[in-house]
Amino acid sequence: MATSRSDARPKASLHKDAFDAPPFRRVLIANRGEVAVRLIRACHEMGMEAIGVYSDADAAAAHVRLADRAIRIGQSAPTESYLRIEALIDAARESGAEAVHPGYGFLAERAAFARAVEEAGLVFVGPPSATIDALGDKLHARRTARSVGVEAVPGTLEPAPIDRPDQVERIIAEAEAIGFPLLVKAAAGGGGRGMRRVQAARDLPAALVSGSREAASAFGDGSVYLEREIRPARHIEVQLLGDAGGRVVAIGERDCSLQRRHQKLVEEAPAPGLTTAERRHLHELAVRVAAAAGLRNAATAEFLRAPDGAFYFLEVNTRLQVEHGVTELVSGLDIVREQFTLAAGRPLSAEAVAAAAQAAHPTSHAIEVRLSAEDPRRDFAPAPGRVARWTMPAGPGVRVDTAIESGDRIPAEYDNLIAKLIVHAGDRARTLDRLRRALDETEVAGIQTTLPFHRFVARAPSFRSAELSTSWVDEHWDGMAAFAEAARRAQLAAGLAALDAAPAAAASGAQPPSPRPAGGPGERRRGAGGWQRAGLATAIDRWPR
């Protein structure tokens, strides 16, 4: 039986003397971590009560403490908690929620969840289940794009007949027409699951079978298709909003090219290097596809930009994106607030319409890095554990979305994302300077994170000059080499620290301190020497222990 808990602080005020009535009285947040915190804060700003849910692993989590009420939905494993549609619907009913926001990840793009919310008489804060059904199938989305004259990445438009041995020759012929190397991709999901890179025709049958098997395990649908590999390519996406009246607008684009295993690591808005005409064209393509699919609420259309500058449609994500914050900072629009009002049936706000009108003429820049509990030395392997020290940067133009505090445990059961560090300035060069400064202020200990990688990116000449592609990480980052260099500098700093202390120790007759990396506990920011700061950055901050 579900149990609930409530904190002692006052509930969100329902008195709206100074601003418009809230779209809902009470909202269930069907998620955890930093996105749940983001959504709860938006609810409170709008005068709505926020109902949290939690698993056993999250009983003391930040989103539980921030919520007006929190309801236990199961054990730590996602399949026993955050992926249990019935438990979430029960929690919504028990709490008297009028709407459900899925956040991102978990059930956010599951049409079955949106449908269950709708059938329960509640409002799903996102595109309707029919739209998620239509656009969640990538093959359907590709056919929709073609129907409105938007060119998708060259490839097939129907599932590969993997269960028909007599069709092997035909699918190989189609692959040769597309051209090698190509990708086998899952029709029903993303994130690289079910994806296989195929170099030659002889490798295609095995790739189809293994890709289909993984897709079936991950998404419950083993359908796969073929798509040309565009390389080098830039991954650029367009933020979309649509209202119940059928109006769809673009709020700007983001470059998400820096990825590992098809998972984004760094995002920025606007996409560097595009002209005003190119931005307008890209936004128009995205709006055309979304309008054809009947988009309502928020979604993102993703494209690849080929070396010749052509844009090819990839897919539509029918949810709030992790990287929505960079678009918020550049456009000045609160996208989550807009989601709630659109879900209540209201038209696009005047602010959203104004942001869309200005989208092709951005006047500032924002960059987000995803700080994750992963080891960039070991191919970004997961690194859960307990956080011993957690100090996030601040100052002008710095935003941190997180649910972590010192002493918290990063559970192994969930996604490794623990914070999003977003910086904003008047242009890209100043934004990069701000990013470098903010990363230098960041302190994490007790777990390994992607902080060393992000510091490397912020200082990389090729990133500063916007030489971006989906191959950038493979071509520029060597985690083992970076770690070895950090260790070498830390050892040098330790030796210099011992030498520096030796004369004073000899004069007093005391024993000189044994060498150890500068910047250890109790030595944070002591001294102004360049060697000491370098030792601190490499030994402690670059590779947290």
Q: DSSP assignment of 31-77, as one string?
A: --HHHHHHHHHHHHHTT-EEEEEEEGGGTT-HHHHHSSEEEEEE-SS
* pLDDT beyond 50 at 38: yes
The whole-number average pLDDT for the span 194-220 is 91
* The dihedral formed by the CA atoms of 104, 106, 110 and 112, expressed in degrees to the nearest 10: -130
* The dihedral formed by the CA atoms of 102, 33, 302 and 478, expressed in degrees to the nearest 10: -160
**pLDDT at residue 4, rounded to an integer:** 52
* pLDDT beyond 60 at 537: no
pTM summary value: 0.87
**pLDDT at residue 405, rounded to an integer:** 93
For residue 293, what are the contacts with CB-CB under 8 A and spacing of at least 6? Answer: 131, 134, 135, 141, 144, 316
CATH topology classification for 234-480: D-amino Acid Aminotransferase; Chain A, domain 1 (3.30.470)
- CATH superfamily membership of 154-228: ATP-grasp fold, A domain (3.30.1490.20)
The whole-number average pLDDT for the span 416-432 is 98
pLDDT band for position 501 (cuts 50, 70, 90): low
Question: Out of 72, 228, 234, 319, which one is annotated catalytic?
Answer: 319
**How remote is the C-alpha of 431 from its chain's centroid?**
19
The whole-number average pLDDT for the span 419-445 is 97
* DSSP code of residue 540: I
Provide the CB-side half-sphere exposure for 78 (13 A, CA).
Answer: 12
pLDDT band for position 165 (cuts 50, 70, 90): confident
pLDDT band for position 510 (cuts 50, 70, 90): low
- Mean pLDDT for the chain overall: 89
**pLDDT at residue 525, rounded to an integer:** 46
Contact between 303 and 288 (Cβ < 8 Å): no
Distances (CA, A) of 240 to 296, 354, 360: 9, 14, 14
Contact between 146 and 161 (Cβ < 8 Å): no
CATH architecture of the domain covering 3-125: 3-Layer(aba) Sandwich (3.40)
Q: Poorest-confidence range of 41-50, 394-403, 531-540?
A: 531-540
What are the residue ranges spanned by the domains of the chain? Answer: 3-125, 154-228, 234-480, 481-542
* pLDDT beyond 90 at 99: yes
- Percentage of the chain beyond pLDDT 70 is 87
The whole-number average pLDDT for the span 489-493 is 71
146 has catalytic annotation: no
